[in-house]
Structure 1
Amino acid sequence: MAPLTVRPGVEIPEAELHWRFSRSSGPGGQGVNTADSRVELSWDLDATTALGPVLKDRARERLANRLVGGVLTVAASEHRAQLRNREAALARLAALVAGAIEPPPPPRRATRPSRAAKERRIAAKKRRGETKRLRRPEDGS
C-alpha cells in the first residue's frame, strides 16, 4: 500500500499506520456477526517521521483533545465492507492531520468603522427604537 498523502509534500508512511479491526454495530445482515468490518486507524504523532518539528508541534497543539499518549485514532464503521471502512478511516485521518498542520491565518489588521457605517448603525438603532415605541400601549387606557 502507498503512503497516505496528507497534502503535497507531507506523506505518512504505511509503516506508521496501525490498523485494528472489530465487529461493527452497523448494517450487515447475516454477516454482521462474522465480519470484522469496523476499522480503527492509529497514528503515533510523537514518533512520526512524516512531519518536521514545527508541523509536529502545531499538530500536537491543535489535536491535543484527540490524542491519547501522543497517538491519534480514528474509527470508521459506517460501511458494510471492511475495505470501504479502511478508505473512510484513511480519508478521515488525512483530513484531520491536514487541518491540524495548516498555517495559522494572517493576523487581523485593526480598523475603525467608517463614518457612514456609524451613521447606518445609529439610524438602524433609531428605526428599531421607533418600532418598539409604537408597539407600547398608550398610558391613558
Structure 2
Amino acid sequence: MFDEDAILQELTFKAIRSSGSGGQHVNKVSSKVELTYNLKESSVFNEVQKNRLLFKLKNRLTKDGILILQCGESRSQHKNKEIIVKRFIEILKNALKVPKKRRPTKIPKSVIKKRLKQKRHLSEKKAGRKKPDLQ
C-alpha cells in the first residue's frame, strides 16, 4: 500500500511537557510526544492517494495540510513515541482504504411470499379477536 519506512523518515517529533496535575515528575520531564506530518509535501504518496488522504483527513489537518498528533498516555517518552507512530500508521491505512461499491440486490420471491403469508396470518388472528357482528 505504502512504504512505512519512507513515511517514518518524513515525520517530525517534538517532546513537550504533559498538561494537568502530577507533581514534580510532570513539571520537569517532557514525556508527551507530538508528531507532525506534512501531507502536501510528502513524496511517498501519488496524487490520487494524496487527494484521498486530504479528503478523508480534512477534519484532522491544518490549513497547510499538516497532520498533528499528540500522545501523553505513558510516563515514558519512548513508549509514547511508539504509540503515536502506530496510531499514525493506522490512521493512514484506514484513510487509504477504498470502499467497496454497493451492488443493490433483488429481494427473493420466497421472502416476499413469506412476509405476505405472515401478514395474512397476523391479520386473521387479530380479526378473530373482534366481537361478532350480530346484525
Interval containing the TM-score (normalised by the shorter chain): 0.7 to 0.9
Count of aligned positions: 127
Q: Which residue of 1 aligns with 2:71?
A: 76
**What stretches of structure 1 move > 2 A for 4+ residues in a row?**
9-15, 25-30, 119-131
Q: Which has the larger radius of gyration?
A: 2
Residue of structure 2 in register with 1:99 after alignment: 94
Listed as ranges, the gaps of 5+ residues in structure 2 are none
Gaps of 5+ in 1: 1-6
Verify: 1:43 aligned to 2:67, yes or no: no
- Structure with the larger strand share: 1
For 2:16 and 2:85, the matched residues in 1 are separated by 17
Provide the C-alpha distance between the structure 2 equivalents of 1:87 and 1:13, rounded to a whole number of angstroms: 14
Deviation at 1:102, TM superposition (A): 2.0
Please give the residue correspondences for 1:55-134 in structure 2 after superposition, counting only pairs within 5 Å.
55-68=49-62, 69-105=64-100, 107-123=101-117
Identify the residue that residue 16 of structure 2 maps to in structure 1: 22
Per the alignment, in what secondary structure is the counterpart of residue 79 of structure 1?
Answer: coil
CA RMSD of aligned residues (A): 2.9
Say which SS state the counterpart of residue 65 (structure 1) adopts: coil
Q: 1:10 aligns with which of 3, 9, 23?
A: 3
Query: Percent of aligned pairs with the same residue?
Result: 32
- SS of residue paired to 1:32: helix
TM-score, normalised by the number of residues in structure 2: 0.77
SS at match of 2:44: coil
Q: Does the Cα contact within 8 Å between 1:26 and 1:77 map onto a contact in 2?
A: no
SS at match of 1:94: helix
Choose 95-104 or 120-129, whichever is displaced more.
Answer: 120-129
Q: TM-score, normalised by structure 1?
A: 0.74
